[in-house]
Amino acid sequence: MSRVAATTDSVSAARVVTPRRGVFASIIEAGKPGITRMVTITSLVGFVLSALGHRSGWAELAVLAVGCAIGTALSSLGANTLNEWLERDRDALMPRTAHRPLPQQRLSPRLALSAGLIESVLGLAVLALATNIWAALVSLACIVTYVAVYTPMKLKSPVSVLVGAIPGALPPLIGWAAAGGNAGWPTLAQAGGWSLFTLMFVWQIPHFMAIAWMYKADYSLGGFRVLAAEDPTGVRTARNMIGWAIVLLPATLMPVWAMPAHVGVVYGIFAAVSGLAFLWLTIGFGRLRTRDAARRVFFASIAHLPLLLMMLVGEALVRRFVG
């Protein structure tokens, strides 16, 4: 979530210029489709890397993959909708979120709550029935941690960023467990899935800190406690951002250790070089502590993760079918 200092007039203006949408479109919008798309993709990355270690037939894998994608997407839509339902009053105070369906009253709170619960339950049911109970339980952990723990904790402590990174890091484990079919628990216990969890967890911290610095005034308007809003000089924010960028280096290399049959030197070199480049940008933020410097870290982070995942899957597929 991001913030810019605003007045009541600017919030009203945001409401006026936003196109009116139908109820169904507003329900989908409340589920944050962009985030849901990314969650589903990371779940499928975990699925593909896990499936390469199984001997399931193509038909079985196709059913598992479709169930994984649909179940993850529905669960994500549900969790995001419930999050917006809980934060609807605060969203109305912030320019970045004032255009959302609930603040604009394009969606009633009751309908949003119902949609969020139905999507969540359907997502869990699809995962349990089409893949296995373990994938559904991981997804349930995502929903509960995000909605019941992280969302209220944002009002209490900047430490919430660490809690919020948990549901963001769990989707690859949904896919990893789903690919195991009936062997869900042994699959979920494998180191490969947890290396993806670690990578995703650590990556989110500097990524979020860049967003928080860019929109720290907005966070204050909404009453959310983030480090950037309580750090006027930016020294603590920069120190944390750089520290987590350093931790990100070994975290991105963990898959090489955890999945030696799938990834190796090609991914390892890319992860090391891109990780050092990202670290350099966070050091640049530490020197300047400006919005533009934070923006550079933010855009680098949203390029860094997809490229890492593409290299992971790409090398694994080449080794499996070409090498």
- Smallest CA-to-CA distance from 27 within 95, 81, 104 is with 81
Quick: pLDDT tens for 132-148.
Answer: 999 999 999 999 999 99
What distances in angstroms separate CA 100 from CA 3, 22, 105, 219, one per listed residue?
Answer: 14, 13, 9, 16
Largest CA distance in the chain: 61
What are the backbone angles phi and psi of residue 169, rounded to the nearest 5°? -100, -15
Lookup result for tokens 């255009």:
99
Q: How many residues does the chain have?
A: 323
- Please state, in angstroms and rounded to a whole number, the distance separating the CA atoms of residues 98 and 100: 6
- Smallest CA-to-CA distance from 183 within 44, 45, 54 is with 54
Q: What percent of the chain has pLDDT over 90?
A: 84
Q: Radius of gyration over alpha carbons of the chain, in Å? A: 20
Least confident of 68-72, 132-136, 219-223: 219-223
pLDDT for 4 equals 30
Give the rounded distance of the alpha carbon of 169 from its chain centre.
7
What integer is the mean pLDDT of 183-209?
94
pLDDT for 44 equals 98
pLDDT for 53 equals 86
Quick: pLDDT tens for 6-24.
Answer: 332 333 333 334 455 689 9
- Please state, in angstroms and rounded to a whole number, the distance separating the CA atoms of residues 308 and 110: 40
Quick: pLDDT tens for 289-308.
Answer: 999 999 999 999 999 999 99
- Smallest CA-to-CA distance from 315 within 230, 256, 227 is with 256
Domain 1-189 has CATH 1.10.357.140: yes
The answer to whether 40 and 80 have CB atoms below 8 angstroms apart is no
What distances in angstroms separate CA 108 from CA 31, 115, 148, one per listed residue?
Answer: 14, 11, 21
The answer to whether 176 and 191 have CB atoms below 8 angstroms apart is no
Tell me the HSE value of 149 on the side-chain side, using a 13 A CA sphere: 16
Quick: pLDDT tens for 165-176.
Answer: 999 999 999 999
What integer is the mean pLDDT of 97-118?
95
- Please state, in angstroms and rounded to a whole number, the distance separating the CA atoms of residues 143 and 122: 13
At residue 49 the predicted structure's pLDDT band, cuts being 50, 70 and 90, is: very high
pTM (predicted TM-score): 0.91
The answer to whether 282 and 206 have CB atoms below 8 angstroms apart is yes
Judged against a pLDDT cut of 50, whether residue 2 lies above it is answered with: no
The answer to whether 100 and 34 have CB atoms below 8 angstroms apart is no
Domain ranges (residues) in the chain: 1-189, 190-323
- Please state, in angstroms and rounded to a whole number, the distance separating the CA atoms of residues 4 and 31: 23
